[in-house]
Amino acid sequence: MSQSPDTLLLSYQPPWQWQQFHAHFALRALAGVECLQPHSYARSAHLDGQRGWFRVQTLADQPALQLHYSQSLQPCLATLIARVRKMFDLDCQPQQISAHFASDAQLGPLVARNPGLRLPTAFEPFEQAVRAIVGQQVTVKAAVTITGRLVSRLGEALQFADAPEIQRLFPNPQAIANANLDGIGMPGKRVQTLQHFAALVANGDLRLDLQDGYTAFVERLCALPGIGPWTAEYIALRAFGEVDAFPASDLGLLKAPVWGVAGIDAKQLKARAESWRPWRAYAAAHLWHNYSEG
């Protein structure tokens, strides 16, 4: 449904919680690339050779997001819409998810309390992969700080009269692969992992897609130096919205209050998660939410 040449409505099946997405992106926002307001999220975009920006706004009176976008992105509008729908998980069928978990002793009550929880996903898979590698063994806040340095050093500068807060693109694979990253704030080994990964993406030796299936993608990533199961599963979940991805060793999942004071270990959790297939990523979303509530 079009309202003007640069505004569209993207509908979804309620319930859906803006607050969940706002909290997720607020914690991870990159200055210059992204801009978050109480009821909107905006960012830069590089699609099919076009540079531009878009903004989504929550609507109080209908189950839809308003998508506002720069005229420069008009030629790749179909791609933009698909990416934004994935980013905000607008095609999820919440009743199906709730029914799947209803009889589970731990997950059932969590899902019943928050039936609108979805999977916040990155706009751009390479960007998410970089964030995940940078985020290995550090806090989200530390990872955002380091990723912000990558953006200010290597991200292409932008200028938009109608979106002055959007000032940079996220750095491309070539830029990260070839950069001098001295003093960026990461251990040398992790810098090597990041640059090796970026070089493989830049020269086409590593495809960032799930064309061969999610399991093959995770195996492909785990074969790379410095990338283990947590990173690979997290990339599958956050970069592609893979609904069955499950980073079983994630601290937030292991320490969620639902497991009691002692928590659960990764091996136990992995076994426990088998019954949650093919929606394990939604289980993760509810466990993370449970963890954040303390």
Number of helices followed by number of strands (H, E) in the chain: 13, 6
**61 flagged as catalytic:** no
Cβ atoms of 80 and 69 closer than 8 Å = yes
Catalytic residue among 6, 104, 162, 250: 250
Distance CA 209, CA 217 (A): 8
Contacts of 48 (CB under 8 A, 6+ apart): 75, 76, 79
Q: Could you give the residue ranges of the DSSP H alpha helices within 77-213?
A: 77-87, 94-101, 107-113, 125-134, 140-154, 173-178, 188-202
Distance CA 41, CA 205 (A): 33
- How far, in Å, CA of 199 to CA of 110, rounded? 41
Count CA within 13 A, CB hemisphere, residue 125: 18
> Quick one: tokens of 105?
């002793």
Whole-number Å distance between alpha carbons of 3 and 8: 6
How distant, in Å, are the alpha carbons of 17, 155, 198, 227 from that of 174? 37, 11, 7, 19
For the annotated catalytic residues, the residue numbers are 250
